[in-house]
Amino acid sequence: MQIDMRGLTPYSATYQAMQEFTSARTAQTADALWMCEHPPTFTQGLAGLDAHLLTPGDIPVVATNRGGQVTYHGPGQVVAYPLIDLKRTGYYVKEYVHRIEEAVIRSLLHFGVTGHRVSGAPGIYVRLDDPGSHAVLPQRPHKDASLSPDFTGLGKIAALGIKVSRHCTYHGVALNVAMDLSPFDRINPCGYQGLRTVDLSTIGVSVSWHEAADVLSQKLITYLAP
């Protein structure tokens, strides 16, 4: 997989480029990983409800074909776009999502933070009172997924939304590093009213965008390998 550190790039142009890359690729096309940072942008998933866009104001809203609801991208956030042919990997979409989440968890661990999964809510979360705690969450994924997600005591630090076309992936995962988090107050993040959003800076970890992007890209390369 080829890593392309694209840095700060407009969201809409990146979205279009992902679609073009995916539609043009063949069985011989090498997989790629684009590491990006975007200017302030709200993005809506396919099932996105306008009711979750509270007061977008001067921040543009882009409708996309990924899964999930509304989220925010902005400076200080590492956005990773794996462009992978799943036919070559030997695993399916559910495991693909799990592997992306695992790469984020391992990246956070590199910085002394424990990331957690929450039942029924894709993405990665941290304990607000003790971000380094390894204690098992009562909200961890379990067989009964009928219950509503419980975010008590948690903040969301990474959001995930993907698209698979002809077995090929695009869109990806966003890890909050050192952002202005106030735009998240203008939406119901990922469709959840009152869900707290955090970044590494908020929980006391000082790290540059480039360092976080380097760590996350290497973990993604490792955990998305066939």
* Active site annotation includes 36: no
Please answer whether residues 75 and 40 qualify as being in contact, where contact means their C-beta atoms are separated by less than 8 angstroms.
Answer: yes
Distances in Å between the alpha carbon of 155 and those of 7, 14, 24, 127? 25, 27, 38, 7
**In angstroms, rounded to a whole number, what is the distance separating the alpha carbons of residues 186 and 178?**
18
Distances in Å between the alpha carbon of 159 and those of 67, 167, 173? 11, 22, 6
Longest dimension (CA), the chain: 48
Q: Residues 97, 98, 99, 103: is their CA dihedral positive or negative?
A: positive
- Annotated catalytic residue: which of 190, 195, 213, 215? 190
Please answer whether residues 159 and 190 qualify as being in contact, where contact means their C-beta atoms are separated by less than 8 angstroms.
Answer: yes
Please answer whether residues 181 and 189 qualify as being in contact, where contact means their C-beta atoms are separated by less than 8 angstroms.
Answer: no
Distances in Å between the alpha carbon of 157 and those of 57, 59, 89, 201, 218? 23, 21, 27, 11, 19
Please answer whether residues 190 and 155 qualify as being in contact, where contact means their C-beta atoms are separated by less than 8 angstroms.
Answer: no
Active site residues: 190
